[in-house]
Chain A
Amino acid sequence: MTVGRVRRAIAGPLQRWGLVLAIAIVWEAASRLGLADPLLLPPASEVLARGWALLLEGRLVAHLVASAWRVLVGFVLAAMVAVPMGVALGLYRRLDAYTATLLGLLRPLSPPAWIPLAILWFGLGDAPAVFIIFVGTFSALLVNISSGTRALEPDLVRAALTLGATRWQTIVHVIVPSLLPMLMAQVRVGLGLAWMCVIAAEMVAVRRGVGFFMIEARNLFRTRDVIVGMVAVGLVGLATDRLLLAVEGRLFRWRGEHGASRYYAEALVASGEEGV
Chain B
Amino acid sequence: MTSHLTIQALHKTYRANGAAFVERADVQALAGLDLAVEAEEFVVLVGPSGCGKSTLLRIVAGLETPTSGRVLLDGVPTNGCSGDRPLVFQNPNLFPWLTALENVAFGLRMAGRGREEREAIAREALARMDLDRVGDLYPHELSGGMQQRVALARALVLDPRVVLMDEPLAAVDALLRARLQRQVRADCRGKTVLFVTHSIREALILADRVVLLTPRPGRIRHELRPPGAAPREETSALLELEREVAARLAATP
- Would you give 30 A-B contacts (Cβ < 8 Å), ordered by A? A155-B91, A155-B93, A158-B63, A161-B81, A162-B81, A162-B85, A162-B86, A163-B158, A164-B83, A169-B110, A173-B106, A174-B95, A178-B96, A253-B138, A255-B96, A256-B141, A259-B141, A261-B140, A262-B141, A265-B134, A265-B141, A266-B146, A268-B134, A269-B130, A269-B131, A269-B146, A272-B130, A274-B130, A276-B143, A276-B145
Q: Are B86 and A163 in contact (CB under 8 A)?
A: yes
- Let me know if B20 is at the binding interface, CB within 8 A: no
Contact present for A163 and B141 (CB under 8 Å): no
The secondary structure that dominates the A interface is helix
A164–B130 contact, CB under 8 A?
no
- Report the 3 A-B pairs with minimum CB-CB distance, sorted nearest first: A164-B83, A163-B107, A256-B140
Closest to A159 in B: B93
Indicate whether A265 sits within 8 Å of B107 (C-beta atoms), given known contacts A158-B63, A163-B83, A255-B96: no
Q: Is A264 an interface residue (CB 8 A)?
A: yes
The total of interchain contacts (Cβ-Cβ below 8 angstroms) comes to 112
Q: Which of B104-147 contact A (CB under 8 A)?
A: 106-107, 109-111, 130-131, 133-134, 137-143, 145-146
Contacts A160-B95, A163-B155 known; list 15 others, CB within 8 Å: A158-B63, A159-B93, A162-B61, A162-B63, A164-B82, A164-B86, A164-B111, A164-B158, A165-B81, A165-B107, A174-B95, A180-B97, A261-B141, A265-B141, A272-B130
Cα–Cα distance between A173 and B95 once the two chains are bound (Å): 10
Number of A residues whose C-beta is below 8 Å from B?
35
Known: A255-B96, A274-B130. A164 touches B141 (CB 8 A): no
Give B96 Cβ to nearest chain A Cβ, in Å. 6
B residues engaging A (CB < 8 A)?
61-63, 81-87, 89, 91, 93, 95-98, 106-107, 109-111, 130-131, 133-134, 137-143, 145-146, 149, 154-155, 158, 164, 176, 179
Chain B residues whose C-beta falls within 8 Å of the C-beta of A264 in the assembled complex? 137, 141
CB within 8 Å for A262 and B142 given contacts A161-B81, A163-B106: yes
What separation, in Å, do the CA atoms of A276 and B133 have in the docked complex? 13
Query: Chain A nearest CB: distance from B221 CB in Å?
Result: 27
